[in-house]
Amino acid sequence: EPEVTQTPSHQVTQMGQEVILRCVPISNHLYFYWYRQILGQKVEFLVSFYNNEISEKSEIFDDQFSVERPDGSNFTLKIRSTKLEDSAMYFCASSREPGGNEKLFFGSGTQLSVL
Amino acid sequence: TQLLEQSPQFLSIQEGENLTVYCNSSSVFSSLQWYRQEPGEGPVLLVTVVTGGEVKKLKRLTFQFGDARKDSSLHITAAQPGDTGLYLCAGPYNTDKLIFGTGTRLQVFP
């Protein structure tokens, strides 16, 4: 079965540094998402992306966050100036149709640790 | 804000036992999904229930969507250690957004 791949699997950074998390969605999918999961807490929606623009974002996704699809295959999440509370597992997901009622395919995640 | 509350939060059982996990909301959902997440991995979709009262079976797992489409349950018969994981219900909120429940962490001991 096709997979969503994420790199790196682990990222350690200092508070205030910029990080870029990378994802390669499934090739024929059109809708892309970032979710995060703080340790011991539930999976939280961050942002959805379609047709090269953000279609929806949560209140977590503030000005420090941005997403980009720089080429035909990658989908990135940038955190401009990381905070301690950004430490979490970040999951990329993709789907063929809008993700509300559609099956989402998740990557294995990037564990971000902000020190 | 639509919330999905799951119960129990944690469940530790012996191999061979049966269990039921619940997902409840005060809001009506057009559908609900159940995912399983293993350590170090992303959630993997198990099933989608769409019609109120619908029952779907996946081997030893039985999923039910409430008649009013506000709740769902997952029943596992004769649990096995391979069933260990985090079980998440999820439902659509607006067109693009999937919101997740609080999760049930299941541990099945041999």
Distances (CA, A) of B97 to A26, A59, A95, A113, B61: 18, 13, 12, 26, 26
**pLDDT digit string, tens, across residues A9-45:** 999 999 999 999 999 999 989 999 999 999 888 899 9
Contact A100 B88 (CB under 8 A): no
B40: nearest CB among A4, A58, A108: A108
Contact residues, A window 1-40, toward B, CB-based 8 Å cutoff: 4, 31, 33, 35
> CA A65, CA A46: separation in Å to the nearest integer?
9
Asked if A92 and A32 count as a contact pair (C-beta separation under 8 A), the reply is yes
For residue B90, list chain A residues with Cβ-Cβ distance below 8 A. Answer: 43
CA of residue A43 relative to chain centroid, distance: 12
| CA pair distance B77, B13, nearest whole angstrom | 12
Confidence of residue A7 (pLDDT cuts 50, 70, 90): very high
Render pLDDT for B24-81 as a digit per residue (tens, 0 to 9).
999 999 999 999 999 888 999 999 999 999 999 999 999 999 999 999 999 999 999 9
Q: What's the pLDDT at A25?
A: 96
Q: Is B41 on the interface with A (CB under 8 A)?
A: yes
Mean pLDDT of A92-99: 87
Residue A71 pLDDT: 86
Interface contact B45-A109, CB threshold 8 A: no
Out of A4, A56, A108, the one facing B96 most closely (by C-beta) is A56
Q: Closest approach of chain A CAs to the CA of B94, in angstroms?
A: 7
What pLDDT is stored for residue A48 in this prediction? 93
Q: Identify whether the C-beta of residue A32 lies closer than 8 Å to the C-beta of residue A25.
A: yes
What's the mean pLDDT when you consider all of chain A?
A: 93
Q: What is each CA distance from A77 to A103, B43, B78, B89, in whole angstroms?
A: 21, 19, 42, 25
- Label residue B3 by pLDDT band (50, 70, 90): confident
Nearest chain B CA: its distance from A50 CA (Å): 9
A1 vs A69 pLDDT, higher one: A69
Counting residues of chain A whose pLDDT is more than 70, the rounded percentage is: 98
What pLDDT is stored for residue B2 in this prediction?
63
pLDDT tier at B1, thresholds 50, 70, 90: low
Could A42 and B92 be called an inter-chain contact, meaning their C-beta atoms sit closer than 8 Å?
A: no
Q: Mark yes or no for CB contact A100/B93 under 8 Å.
A: yes
Report pLDDT for A97: 84
- pLDDT for A99 equals 64
